[in-house]
Amino acid sequence: MTGPAIAAHGLRKSYGDKTVLDGVDLTVAEGTVFSLLGPNGAGKTTAVKILSTLISPDPASGRISVGGHDLAADPQAVRAAIGVTGQFSAVDGLITGAENMLLMADLHHLPRREGRRVTAELLERFDLTEAAAKPASTYSGGMRRRLDIAMTLVGSPRIIFLDEPTTGLDPRSRHNMWQIIRELVTDGVTVFLTTQYLDEADELADRIAVLHNGTIAAEGTAAELKRLVPGGHVRLRFTDPAAHRAAASALREATRDDEALTLQIASAGSQRELRLLLDRLDTAGIEADELTVHTPDLDDVFFALTGPTRPAGIPDQPQETAR
Ligand SMILES: Nc1ncnc2c1ncn2[C@@H]1O[C@H](COP(=O)(O)OP(=O)(O)OP(=O)(O)O)[C@@H](O)[C@H]1O
């Protein structure tokens, strides 16, 4: 395949008069993790369903290609190149994990012996060998998700759509899933990941697109997105209003909040900057009750971009007020 694994231009989808996707452009390079990030109801699942041929985009959409195949002209070829797991899980709870896998092997027309080999290998890889003979309904949430991904891999897809793969999982299972996703990418698979979790996108994604109001509000690497919001700051909190007032006059550049009795000073949080700040407070004979250092993270980006009062373009207000 030459070109990107996924390229969508002007993706549109409406239900009645509700516009869910309003001209979304997506480009995902082969062998990378692309994360579509958005709050509940933003349209992430809708995008996955369109790109995986489960539903049709609106006719006004531009060209969409997945795995080098035109989605409209050759949906069969797209289906052969992809795997989808997520909210619409393919796991059948009434049969065992191994039976679910063998069913998948049959669907992919693998010869019996090959099907059994691939099944055993994948069950082993996803730490499901012990549970293989038990009905899938007895599996924990994490085991079920692992089985779901293992089933998807039976067909050796080059592109995998993971729709909120860790929603509802406990922290250990989430980290297991992250490890599985990293291994997939090491094997050259392209992963299209939707998530509501900023740390997940930060941890895994090569590129992140933030979906908001039907369009991509921002796209880039985690580092690029973090640069969109104002830098970090140090926050000083006081319990004594007089100390707060004195500190405010000693630190004239600080933004003060007289109700919360806090001062906020722009700072990258380096040791040198902190020492200078503490020296200035010492010289003025002021002691803060609490000092916290805040560096921008994806949360800040997310809230700044998807907050109700976002101005057009890149937000220019401090992240605290953007929430
Ligand atoms: N078949 C449908 N008919 C009408 N509205 C729909 C349909 N499918 C989705 N929607 C609406 O489209 C919007 C986007 O839904 P979608 O499931 O894509 O969001 P999401 O970002 O995946 O959110 P979540 O994290 O809650 O799954 C929602 O407001 C949803 O109610």
CATH number at residue 118: 3.40.50.300
Q: What is the pLDDT of residues 163-210, one digit of tens each?
A: 988 888 888 888 988 998 999 999 999 999 998 888 899 999 999 999
* Any domain includes 316: no
- For residues 208 and 240, membership in a common domain is answered with no
Is 313 part of a structural domain of the chain? no
Q: Best mutation site among 14, 17, 37, 46 for ligand 1, i.e. most ligand atoms within 8 A of its Cβ?
A: 46
Nearest CA to ligand 1 atom 6: 15
Shared-domain flag, residues 185 and 82: yes
CA distance 138 to 122: 19
Q: What percent of the chain has pLDDT over 70?
A: 93
**Predicted pLDDT at 299:** 78
pLDDT of residue 312: 42
Which residue do the tokens 């994360």 mark?
A: 35
Residue 223: pLDDT band (50, 70, 90) is confident
- Residue 157: CB within 6 Å of ligand 1? no
Expressed in angstroms and rounded, the spacing between residue 219 Cα and the centre of ligand 1 is 21
Cβ of 44 closer than 6 Å to ligand 1, yes or no, is yes
315 has a pLDDT exceeding 60: no
Name the band, by pLDDT with cuts 50, 70 and 90, for residue 293: confident
Confidence of residue 261 (pLDDT cuts 50, 70, 90): very high
**Is 135 contained in some domain?**
yes
What is the distance between the alpha carbons of residues 83 and 154, in angstroms, rounded to a whole number?
9
Do 215 and 253 belong together in one domain?
no
Query: Do residues 46 and 89 both lie within one domain?
Result: yes
Tokens standing for residue 16: 């009645």
Q: What are phi and psi of 235, to 5 degrees?
A: -120, 130
pTM of the model: 0.79
Query: pLDDT, tens digit, for every residue of 50-100?
Result: 999 999 999 999 999 999 999 999 999 999 999 998 766 778 989 999 999
Tens digits of residue pLDDT in 147-166 = 998 999 998 999 999 998 88
- 125 and 174 share one domain: yes
Average pLDDT of the chain to the nearest whole number: 88
Among 15, 36, 163, which is best to mutate for testing ligand 1, by the most ligand atoms less than 8 A from CB?
15
Give the separation between CA 109 and CA 307, rounded to whole angstroms.
49
* Structure tokens given for 285: 């004979």
Same domain, residue pair 181 and 250: no
Assess whether the C-beta atom of 155 lies below 6 angstroms from ligand 1.
no
Distance, C-alpha 217 to centroid of its chain: 14
Q: Do residues 36 and 175 share a domain?
A: yes
Whether 208 maps to a domain, the answer reads yes
- CATH number, position 289: 3.30.70
Ligand 1 site, residue 20, Cβ cutoff 6 A: yes
User: How many structural domains is the chain composed of?
Assistant: 2
Query: Is residue 170, in this structure, part of any structural domain at all?
Result: yes
With respect to residue 86, please indicate whether it lies within any of the assigned structural domains: yes
Residue 89 and residue 148 in contact, taking contact as beta carbons nearer than 8 Å: yes
Q: For ligand 1, atom 10, which residue shows the shortest CA distance?
A: 15
User: Ligand 1 centre and the CA of 192: distance in Å?
Assistant: 18
Higher pLDDT, 242 or 269: 242
For residue 305, being part of any structural domain is answered with no
Which range of residues forms the domain containing residue 103?
A: 6-226
Shared domain for 281 and 138, answered yes or no, is no
Mean pLDDT of 255-269: 90
CA of 303 to the centre of ligand 1 (A): 20
**Which residue minimizes the CA distance to atom 28 of ligand 1?**
41
Indicate if 219 and 248 belong to the same structural domain.
Answer: no
Minimal-distance CA residue to ligand 1 atom 30: 41
Pocket test for ligand 1, best of 11, 13, 17, 18 (most atoms within 8 A of CB): 18
Identify the residue whose C-alpha is closest to ligand 1 atom 17.
45
Report ipTM (2 d.p.).
Answer: 0.94
The domain boundary residue, chosen from 169, 194, 226 = 226
Q: What are phi and psi of 158, to 5 degrees?
A: -90, -20
CA atoms within 13 A on the CB side of 170: 6
Q: Is residue 299 part of a domain?
A: no
For 96-143, the pLDDT digits (tens) are 999 999 999 998 899 999 999 999 999 998 899 999 999 999 999 889
Q: Return the closest-CA partner of residue 131 out of 102, 101, 96, 103.
A: 96
247 shares a domain with 186: no
- Ligand 1 mean position, distance from CA 20 (Å): 7
One domain for residues 270 and 166: no
Atom of ligand 1 nearest to the CA of 194: 22
pLDDT at 87: 66
37 and 156 share one domain: yes
